[in-house]
Chains A and B, each alone.
Chain A
């Protein structure tokens, strides 16, 4: 498939609010991206607006506050996807098509059971959660992540292992937790850890470099098959260097650190 033939579905409902920049990021990587309201996939709209999930090659869940996040981050959006579209989404994943969730989108993927998915494509109930930040506050700040994936994750397929990337965070609930005490070890065994927060010199992250207190400094994970990835930091916000917070003092080129993630998946499909 040529990159320009790759169709990305950027899924939105009321309260998702990072869909414009998510679609732009995929376009910069060469793909076609369309912002699609959930109702367009479930058929609750006029005929010319209807869309089929299976016609897309990549599914992206953008950040925001879907449905206000008033119950638990991502819970309402996930419930709506599951009830109307659960089987389609499961098939999409089982077909090996890539699914990306950023920030609120990551929270939705966990609520859907698509991550960490330690026992099958889509767990019937969530097996992890993105819990309130240690600070108790919404944190909008630069974070540096290291690619710790051994090669399984499609979204880092062309990012060197161990590479540091400045990808900013903006969330109140980003601390990945599970009741499974062996959770981190299992993720590592399956090569499901994708990104860890680190200091800007690559050292171990303390607050604020780890903005939420996530165990083992985990910022992003993928499913065992490597085609579903969720991450708290926002790569779509740094596809150009000129939105990095420190570009006026540190500007090695025009490209932003986040673009590599979009390019990885588009190039792999292409």
Chain B
């Protein structure tokens, strides 16, 4: 028997069903949840039954569907909240202006900057172009609803190997197809909205084959006096639905995001993928910022996961109110949608704002000027209940605290066994010249220019440090990008991603710390001081205790280092259930997007070597930490210590390095990450189009570990000979002179390396161009 027998169509002219859960047994409850695609567990269904027993009536299909949305992992963080609370919430600093839909930090006396990153993983695995595009749309709205003008996008992505020739599991799309689609989606949406995509990263590993990751981050700038709230100002206000029409696209998106992908996800869940339209979005941004800047509205929120069902209730409840909505007023893409579909659809390009009744006309005029649809559909009340009507017929009447409260779980976890030096196997290696070329050509290191140059990273004319640096059309990789978000001011906002999923797989605690360390390194490398982080925590199925253990440990690592550095995380996102069909989980991927501030962008530093004859210094200590290193992955090493972070040293190193940069003593700077010191110096040679001569002391750990260990908190810095003394006076023992700049080749005497820059450039430049097509 299906749940059909428990559903009674109400005698009205539209599709509405009353669902008999009061007389349902456990089996019936399970059937209702699965037949209606509610995604609710047995306990959750029983809680619903208990609630409606107290109300003394059966629910409508609209009410149960709304509950399925509100109580999904995606919307209420039921598996992650207690861990986030324990480890990362509550790092407070006076310059946190808001922890709303996006975090907002102080930028200067008059401005704040907004930051947020979130995932659009599951939709992108099914439909990469639309999934990625709507991911950009969603994150833009999160920033806009803080009243902030978006100024930059940051998109870290993870895929299976693009040159994969092995059999692809059923239901899975080839990584090359996914990468092509995702980059096109980001390009077409970001470029059309006119927001530069300035940083990101592309990670490749077999374990992302069945479940790619598409993380989308956005930064914005807002005048402090225009900082918006994401909720109503009180009862008696009008709620206006703005932007796109509502359709059947994006139904049950949050439930799809809250379970594992399967071999049949493509067919089953395509309807969960929303359709994006950047040319509706672009004027929505203008108009929303205009009504907010004129202080005509009291609050603004984007319609993302759960659509109207989440936004209306949350905007009302956060103001201590309830709401009443007239669903028949919602503009539709097509006739015939049932009320429940309208209420939970995640159709794109929609926002909600609240305003005092006397301002409604002015607000509607401004939207009309931009040809953006804006329709009052609801009003706030003083009852704390959510009520829905369809041409006057009440179809929904629930307590908002119950509806949006959601369950919280302390899921069982098993702490992972971590990789250590014990049992380490150091791989057999060819000569070091060959090793360096091999590492440079690994897709995780190789040039991402194929993607970077399809993204407009200069629109808005405010990109001061670009994602690729060096001589024109001879560039190499940068560290962080810097934006000039306030016209006429030289104060810069630096942004960079940081994550090492391989470290995290072998030691989640150290992996979590390493992501933050890397984001800090990138930001400091351009001369900016790390100021805030936002994180997108991509993990597997939380109902599996091993996955939960990885999640817990990684979050603990992030919390410890952020607290140690006293840098807040005012926003973030958790994406669980990243598992492919067949149960292969992704690498645990705590993606960090870091933001930094630089008082005068004219003091910024880039990674390209600049001057023949200058000296090159290694900053920070290289340890025997080979676990998870690119060298081990590439050449078959096993186990090893995973790089940890000494927070006290990291702080001191950042302070000293920023001091010498501020004094103008550093010509170029690059962090050591994948491939260690060897790859870092090679990259600086490539972007500077010059050789270098490096003399390393083995420091007791051996030359090869010196070259390829990926110990955290390290940078390379180029210093003009005349400034070496002044540089050394600040850096003390933390910097070691390891060589000089010049010549056509990278020479490392102790390792027997003599590599022409031309050859290194080719090894680094060509792989992704060759795999994806095109190239210079």
Binding site for B on A (CB under 8 A): 14-15, 17-18, 20-21, 24-25, 37, 39, 45-46, 49, 63-65, 67-70, 135-142, 144, 166, 168, 170, 200, 207-209, 234, 236-239, 242-243, 245-249
Closest-by-CB residue of A relative to B492 is: A242
Nearest 9 CB-CB pairs, A to B? A17-B194, A21-B461, A68-B279, A237-B461, A14-B283, A248-B606, A65-B192, A170-B456, A142-B472
A67 engages B605 (CB within 8 Å): no
Note all chain A residues with C-beta closer than 8 A to B371: 14, 39
B602 engages A245 (CB within 8 Å): no
> A45 contacts which of B193, B369, B469 (Cβ < 8 Å)?
B369
Q: How far is A209 from B474 in the complex, measured between Cα atoms in Å?
A: 11
Quick check: is B455 within 8 A (CB to CB) of the other chain? yes
Binding site for A on B (CB under 8 A): 187, 191-194, 278-280, 282-283, 365, 369-371, 452-466, 468-473, 475, 484, 487, 490, 601-602, 604-606, 608, 610, 668, 774, 776
Chain A binding surface, main DSSP class: loop
Indicate whether A249 sits within 8 Å of B605 (C-beta atoms), given known contacts A15-B282, A140-B456, A243-B464: no
> A208 contacts which of B282, B473, B484, B668 (Cβ < 8 Å)?
B473
Chain B binding surface, main DSSP class: loop
Note all chain A residues with C-beta closer than 8 A to B461: 18, 20-21, 24-25, 234, 236-239, 243
A192: shortest Cβ distance to chain B, in Å? 27
Note all chain B residues with C-beta closer than 8 A to A137: 453-454, 774
B192 engages A68 (CB within 8 Å): yes
Note all chain B residues with C-beta closer than 8 A to A138: 187, 191, 453-456
Closest-by-CB residue of B relative to A166 is: B472
Q: How far is A45 from B462 in the complex, measured between Cα atoms in Å?
A: 32
Taking A17-B193, A137-B774, A243-B464 as given, write out 8 further A-B residue pairs in contact, using a Cβ cutoff of 8 Å, ordered by the A residue number: A14-B370, A15-B278, A17-B194, A135-B774, A138-B453, A142-B472, A242-B602, A249-B471
B282 engages A249 (CB within 8 Å): no
B453 engages A249 (CB within 8 Å): no
B487 engages A140 (CB within 8 Å): no
Q: How far is A63 from B461 in the complex, measured between Cα atoms in Å?
A: 12
A122: shortest Cβ distance to chain B, in Å? 26
Note all chain B residues with C-beta closer than 8 A to A242: 464, 484, 490, 601-602
B192 engages A243 (CB within 8 Å): no
Indicate whether A37 sits within 8 Å of B282 (C-beta atoms), given known contacts A68-B192, A138-B187: no
A208 engages B776 (CB within 8 Å): yes
Note all chain A residues with C-beta closer than 8 A to B369: 37, 39, 45-46, 49
A203: shortest Cβ distance to chain B, in Å? 13
> A200 contacts which of B192, B457, B472 (Cβ < 8 Å)?
B472
Note all chain A residues with C-beta closer than 8 A to B365: 46
B454 engages A245 (CB within 8 Å): no
A43: shortest Cβ distance to chain B, in Å? 12
B605 engages A248 (CB within 8 Å): yes
A20 engages B460 (CB within 8 Å): yes
Q: How far is A247 from B484 in the complex, measured between Cα atoms in Å?
A: 14
A246 engages B472 (CB within 8 Å): yes
A-B contact pairs, 10 of them (CB 8 A): A15-B192, A17-B459, A39-B369, A67-B279, A70-B279, A140-B452, A141-B453, A243-B462, A243-B484, A247-B464
A21 engages B279 (CB within 8 Å): no
Most buried by A among B192, B455, B456, B608: B456
Note all chain B residues with C-beta closer than 8 A to A142: 472-473
Closest-by-CB residue of B relative to A68 is: B279
Note all chain B residues with C-beta closer than 8 A to A238: 461
A32: shortest Cβ distance to chain B, in Å? 16
Note all chain B residues with C-beta closer than 8 A to A46: 365, 369
Closest-by-CB residue of A relative to B610 is: A249
Note all chain A residues with C-beta closer than 8 A to B192: 15, 17, 64-65, 68-69
A21 engages B460 (CB within 8 Å): yes
Q: How far is A170 from B192 in the complex, measured between Cα atoms in Å?
A: 12
B458 engages A249 (CB within 8 Å): no
Closest-by-CB residue of B relative to A25 is: B461
Note all chain A residues with C-beta closer than 8 A to B453: 137-141
Q: How far is A18 from B196 in the complex, measured between Cα atoms in Å?
A: 11
Closest-by-CB residue of A relative to B527 is: A248
Q: How far is A49 from B668 in the complex, measured between Cα atoms in Å?
A: 50
Note all chain B residues with C-beta closer than 8 A to A45: 369
A68 engages B278 (CB within 8 Å): yes
Note all chain A residues with C-beta closer than 8 A to B605: 248
Q: How far is A67 from B610 in the complex, measured between Cα atoms in Å?
A: 44
A245 engages B466 (CB within 8 Å): yes
Note all chain B residues with C-beta closer than 8 A to A144: 472
Note all chain A residues with C-beta closer than 8 A to B604: 248
Q: How far is A242 from B193 in the complex, measured between Cα atoms in Å?
A: 24
Indicate whether A140 sits within 8 Å of B458 (C-beta atoms), given known contacts A46-B365, A242-B464, A249-B606: yes
Note all chain B residues with C-beta closer than 8 A to A248: 465, 469, 604-606, 608, 610, 668
B458 engages A234 (CB within 8 Å): yes
Note all chain B residues with C-beta closer than 8 A to A39: 369, 371
B458 engages A65 (CB within 8 Å): no
Note all chain B residues with C-beta closer than 8 A to A21: 460-462
Q: How far is A261 from B324 in the complex, measured between Cα atoms in Å?
A: 56
A64 engages B776 (CB within 8 Å): no
Note all chain B residues with C-beta closer than 8 A to A49: 369
Closest-by-CB residue of B relative to A76 is: B279
Indicate whether A15 sits within 8 Å of B459 (C-beta atoms), given known contacts A68-B192, A139-B453, A248-B604: no
Most buried by B among A17, A68, A142, A200: A17
> A243 contacts which of B191, B456, B463, B668 (Cβ < 8 Å)?
B463
Q: How far is A49 from B290 in the complex, measured between Cα atoms in Å?
A: 14
Note all chain B residues with C-beta closer than 8 A to A245: 466, 468-469, 472, 475
B606: shortest Cβ distance to chain A, in Å? 4
A209 engages B490 (CB within 8 Å): no
> A136 contacts which of B455, B459, B487, B774 (Cβ < 8 Å)?
B774
Q: How far is A139 from B470 in the complex, measured between Cα atoms in Å?
A: 18
Note all chain A residues with C-beta closer than 8 A to B282: 14-15, 17
B154: shortest Cβ distance to chain A, in Å? 16
Q: How far is A239 from B469 in the complex, measured between Cα atoms in Å?
A: 19
B674: shortest Cβ distance to chain A, in Å? 23
Q: How far is A49 from B475 in the complex, measured between Cα atoms in Å?
A: 47
Q: How far is A20 from B459 in the complex, measured between Cα atoms in Å?
A: 10
Note all chain A residues with C-beta closer than 8 A to B484: 242-243
B469 engages A140 (CB within 8 Å): no
A17: shortest Cβ distance to chain B, in Å? 2
Note all chain A residues with C-beta closer than 8 A to B602: 242
Note all chain B residues with C-beta closer than 8 A to A18: 194, 459-461
Note all chain A residues with C-beta closer than 8 A to B470: 246, 249
Indicate whether A140 sits within 8 Å of B455 (C-beta atoms), given known contacts A39-B369, A243-B462, A249-B471: yes
A140 engages B472 (CB within 8 Å): no
Most buried by B among A46, A166, A237: A237
Note all chain A residues with C-beta closer than 8 A to B473: 141-142, 200, 208-209
Note all chain A residues with C-beta closer than 8 A to B278: 15, 65, 68
Indicate whether A246 sits within 8 Å of B471 (C-beta atoms), given known contacts A17-B193, A24-B487, A64-B194: yes
Note all chain B residues with C-beta closer than 8 A to A200: 472-473
Note all chain A residues with C-beta closer than 8 A to B668: 248
Q: How far is A209 from B194 in the complex, measured between Cα atoms in Å?
A: 24
Q: How far is A101 from B402 in the complex, measured between Cα atoms in Å?
A: 56
Q: How far is A20 from B195 in the complex, measured between Cα atoms in Å?
A: 12
Q: How far is A236 from B460 in the complex, measured between Cα atoms in Å?
A: 9
Q: How far is A142 from B487 in the complex, measured between Cα atoms in Å?
A: 22
Q: How far is A64 from B776 in the complex, measured between Cα atoms in Å?
A: 25
Q: How far is A98 from B254 in the complex, measured between Cα atoms in Å?
A: 52
Closest-by-CB residue of B relative to A35 is: B286
Closest-by-CB residue of A relative to B194 is: A17
